[in-house]
Chains A and B, each alone.
Chain A
Amino acid sequence: MIVLEKRPQPSKAWSYATPLVAVLATMVFGGILFAILGKNPIEAIGTIFWEPLFGEFAFYYRPQLLVKGAPLVLIAIGLSLGFRAGIWNIGAEGQYIMGAIFGAGAGLAFFPMDAFFIFPIMVIAGAFGGWLWAMIPAFLKVRFGTNEILVSLMLVYVAEQMLASVSLGLLKNPEGFGFPGSRNLQQYDSAHNAELIAGSGMHWGVVTALIAVIFAYILLNRHMLGFHIRLTGEAPRAAKFAGVNPARLILFCLGLSGALAGLAGMFEVSGPSGVVSIDFNVGYGFTAIIVAFLGRLHPVGILLAGGLMALTYIGGEIAQSQLGLPAAAIQVFQGMLLFFLLAFDLLTNYRIRAARSEVA
């Protein structure tokens, strides 16, 4: 009989190995899934992981990895700080939407003026929008002890309604023949988050994501606040004795993750998307939760996990059009990744042992 035995100390080796093992297991079981669907599994897995990086059209896909990965990393970095302290912001999707609405709204308010200061104002407005939306669950938790998981999640749906409302009303393109959606910011130079070097995929959002990774690393490892965050998550009682102010920590973690999600939304709406539309959000805020855990809540890990996630998105689309794999199979494939990660995570805290069965 096999029993699970709790390790006295979480295994360091396993905590590093888990993501890799999870990726491998996903490849194996994903391959089996693809084989059942009648596709060559080696070819399918190869297409997903190889084509975007080294295939014939990698010159186009590599920059796209940055475009797709940047919002994931930016949001996940913010979330990871809260998650480490046991503060669960599940509503990054809503904060992402509000960041986009505030950012685009600030830019469009100046239309058609051309000025250098418009884009910086949009950046601030975007961060503010996300921060504001995250402050609602933060304030309610601090003041009334509400559950931030529920409040932040529910506010996603409120944000979606606001998105629909501004797409149809406040921000609607007056030259859009009555169709919903704002003016295209890509065609408004002062507000356009253009590629810094044409064809590189490198826009301000990518730069900001990289800066966020560095700052999060420094914060967690070199700063008192980072120490408090880690301490609160790992040993709440000790944190209390160390003089951590829980209310301040909640406001900081939720506020920061909201602001970063807002920034991600603002960079997306002013760059790759260009338009505030009813369908603007495509789930970055939720996928970022997977990215945060896949990256072990570690800034560098999140950077790698964001890249991996972007790879499965882009590779998955290539597999669809080249091999005719159904979209649902790709989604199952991505779901497997989180599932295996959580499953193998068990091994960090437990070890498997064969035990003789005893008579009770």
Chain B
Amino acid sequence: MKFTTLLASAAMALGLATGAMAEDKTKVGFVYVGPVGDGGWTYEHNKGRLAVEDHFGDKVETVFVESVPEGPDAERVMTQMALEGADLIFTTSFGYMDPTINVAKKFPNVKFEHATGYKTADNVSVYSARFYEGRAVQGHIAGNMTKSNIIGYIGSYPIPEVIRGINSAYIHAKKVNPDVEFKIVWAYTWFDPAKEADAATVLIEQGADVILQHTDSTAPQAAAQEAGNVVTFGQASDMSEYAPFPRVSSIIDDWAPYYIARTQAVMDGTWESANTWDGIREGMVAIGEISDAVPADVKEEALALKAAMAAGEYHPFTGPLKRQDGSDWLAEGEVADDGTLAGMNFYVEGLEGEIPQ
């Protein structure tokens, strides 16, 4: 780290000496769905941006626009970045999918990277992380920690990414606690502290003593803290300000290595459209420190689970598994394929309620 900073400042000094350097700067743009201070999803993407700046120093210039609504506004923001000379643009929310494709058509020389989507083009890559691997660890801890056997889950939108997370957490909670029950609330937002706090409160009132969230703010943590004996997990970011309790662990998205690699590829001229889906093994998904509020043996098992996934020895969706309607999904020892996971639109057996249609 120190060494790169040194390099960076050296490069900056050089840059100041030769004004012409500015022309060769690679410009990288970021479009964020929430504010950079959300403490979750956007916060981590912004950390990735800062890492790019740190790594390349004066060779890059980064720009970002935060809290951009998904839709025509996003299209305008991306166009604006492309017009102003961005070479590479990361669009970091699912709802930016069609706008990204539209703008990419108009600027064939600009490279685009869309997070969590599925539409690619010659100059559009998609990337996402296997958050469900982290959910497996969470589910394991949650199943052990709950005393009421009710686990609350704050869903954002009923899209495959979120449903995968619910299924993965449920499967692993059920494994250690056959009596466990999931209560799911859909917030229909990625970031809205007020709505998230309401959802957490409703779940706590219904008897949940563990809350999992797929929304980005720390409001559920605050609600849990107020309730006193409710366990939570950091989402997207470590949220360590609520450790050691109520936040007992977290799923951390680490975008920095990917952002640095892709920026490097643009600089080298080796950038190609790709579909990246990395997990714990590649380091895109990390598990935040498991606090002492978790019993030592549970912590050990959780870490072993994580290690098995990191080594590629264990897949969270391994048969035998059935769908909610009782039909067979995976046979004994069979592992889910990426195609099914990418479009997952069903609950596994045992989960109650319906996916909103």
* Interface set of A (CB-CB < 8 Å, partner B): 57, 60-61, 64, 67-68, 160, 164-165, 168-169, 172, 177-180, 184, 186, 268, 272-275, 277-280, 282, 313-314, 317-318, 320-322, 324, 326-328
Tell me if B64 counts as interface (CB < 8 A to partner A).
yes
- The answer to whether A273 touches B357 (Cβ under 8 A) is no
Chain A proximity of B28: nearest CB distance (Å): 12
Tell me if B171 counts as interface (CB < 8 A to partner A).
no
**Chain B contact residues (Cβ within 8 angstroms of A): what range?**
35 or more
Cα distance A277–B99 in the bound complex, in angstroms? 13
Chain A residues whose CB sits within 8 angstroms of the CB of B80 once the complex forms = 57, 60-61, 317-318, 321
Cα distance A338–B65 in the bound complex, in angstroms? 24
- The answer to whether A321 touches B76 (Cβ under 8 A) is no
Chain A residues whose CB sits within 8 angstroms of the CB of B75 once the complex forms = 272
- The answer to whether B83 touches A279 (Cβ under 8 A) is no
Q: A177-B343, A277-B95 are contacts. A321–B83 as well, Cβ < 8 Å?
A: no
CB within 8 A of B64: which of A184, A282, A314, A321? A321
- The answer to whether A274 touches B98 (Cβ under 8 A) is yes
Q: A57-B83, A60-B83, A177-B160 are contacts. A279–B71 as well, Cβ < 8 Å?
A: yes
- The answer to whether B66 touches A327 (Cβ under 8 A) is yes
Cα distance A317–B76 in the bound complex, in angstroms? 9
Chain A residues whose CB sits within 8 angstroms of the CB of B36 once the complex forms = 326
- The answer to whether A275 touches B72 (Cβ under 8 A) is no
- The answer to whether B65 touches A320 (Cβ under 8 A) is yes
Chain A residues whose CB sits within 8 angstroms of the CB of B71 once the complex forms = 272-273, 275, 277, 279-280, 282
Minimal Cβ-Cβ distance residue in A for B344: A178
Contact with A along B314-349 (1 / 0, CB 8 A): 000000000000000000000000000011110000
Minimal Cβ-Cβ distance residue in A for B36: A326
- The answer to whether A327 touches B35 (Cβ under 8 A) is yes
Q: A268-B72, A277-B70, A279-B71 are contacts. A180–B342 as well, Cβ < 8 Å?
A: no
Chain A residues whose CB sits within 8 angstroms of the CB of B66 once the complex forms = 320, 326-327
Cα distance A184–B102 in the bound complex, in angstroms? 11
Cα distance A318–B72 in the bound complex, in angstroms? 15
- The answer to whether B98 touches A282 (Cβ under 8 A) is no
Minimal Cβ-Cβ distance residue in A for B116: A179
Tell me if B256 counts as interface (CB < 8 A to partner A).
no
Write 29 A-B pairs (CB below 8 A) sorted by A numbering: A57-B84, A68-B76, A164-B188, A164-B356, A165-B357, A177-B118, A177-B160, A179-B118, A179-B159, A184-B98, A186-B102, A268-B72, A274-B98, A275-B98, A278-B157, A279-B70, A317-B73, A317-B80, A320-B66, A321-B29, A321-B64, A321-B80, A321-B84, A322-B63, A322-B84, A326-B35, A326-B36, A326-B66, A327-B66
Q: A168-B357, A180-B158 are contacts. A317–B70 as well, Cβ < 8 Å?
A: no
Tell me if B79 counts as interface (CB < 8 A to partner A).
yes
Chain B residues whose CB sits within 8 angstroms of the CB of A164 once the complex forms = 188, 356
Chain A proximity of B189: nearest CB distance (Å): 9
Contact with A along B95-121 (1 / 0, CB 8 A): 100100010000000000000001000
Cα distance A321–B65 in the bound complex, in angstroms? 5
CB within 8 A of A168: which of B35, B65, B83, B158? B158
Chain A residues whose CB sits within 8 angstroms of the CB of B356 once the complex forms = 164-165, 168-169
- The answer to whether A328 touches B35 (Cβ under 8 A) is yes
Minimal Cβ-Cβ distance residue in A for B156: A278
- For window 170-217 of B, CB contacts with A under 8 Å fall at 188
Cα distance A127–B160 in the bound complex, in angstroms? 34
Chain A proximity of B314: nearest CB distance (Å): 26
- The answer to whether B342 touches A321 (Cβ under 8 A) is no
Chain A residues whose CB sits within 8 angstroms of the CB of B72 once the complex forms = 67, 268, 272-273
- 4 more A-B contacts (CB under 8 A) besides A64-B76, A328-B35? A272-B75, A277-B95, A279-B95, A282-B71
Chain A residues whose CB sits within 8 angstroms of the CB of B81 once the complex forms = 321
Minimal Cβ-Cβ distance residue in B for A328: B35
Cα distance A186–B71 in the bound complex, in angstroms? 13
- For window 53-96 of B, CB contacts with A under 8 Å fall at 63-73, 75-77, 79-81, 83-84, 94-95
CB within 8 A of A180: which of B35, B102, B159, B343? B159
Chain B proximity of A32: nearest CB distance (Å): 22
Cα distance A342–B64 in the bound complex, in angstroms? 33
- The answer to whether B157 touches A180 (Cβ under 8 A) is yes
Chain A proximity of B7: nearest CB distance (Å): 24
Q: A168-B357, A279-B70, A321-B84 are contacts. A327–B159 as well, Cβ < 8 Å?
A: no
Most central of A168, A172, A326 by chain B CB within 10 Å: A168
Chain A residues whose CB sits within 8 angstroms of the CB of B94 once the complex forms = 179
Chain B residues whose CB sits within 8 angstroms of the CB of A64 once the complex forms = 76
CB within 8 A of B77: which of A184, A321, A328? A321
Cα distance A315–B15 in the bound complex, in angstroms? 30
Chain A residues whose CB sits within 8 angstroms of the CB of B159 once the complex forms = 178-180
Contact with A along B288-332 (1 / 0, CB 8 A): 000000000000000000000000000000000000000000000
Minimal Cβ-Cβ distance residue in B for A167: B157
Cα distance A184–B72 in the bound complex, in angstroms? 13
Chain A proximity of B260: nearest CB distance (Å): 21
- The answer to whether A178 touches B343 (Cβ under 8 A) is yes
Chain B residues whose CB sits within 8 angstroms of the CB of A326 once the complex forms = 35-36, 66
Chain A proximity of B107: nearest CB distance (Å): 12
Chain B residues whose CB sits within 8 angstroms of the CB of A272 once the complex forms = 71-72, 75
Chain A residues whose CB sits within 8 angstroms of the CB of B160 once the complex forms = 177-179
Minimal Cβ-Cβ distance residue in B for A178: B345
Chain A proximity of B281: nearest CB distance (Å): 25
Chain B proximity of A345: nearest CB distance (Å): 30
Minimal Cβ-Cβ distance residue in B for A318: B80
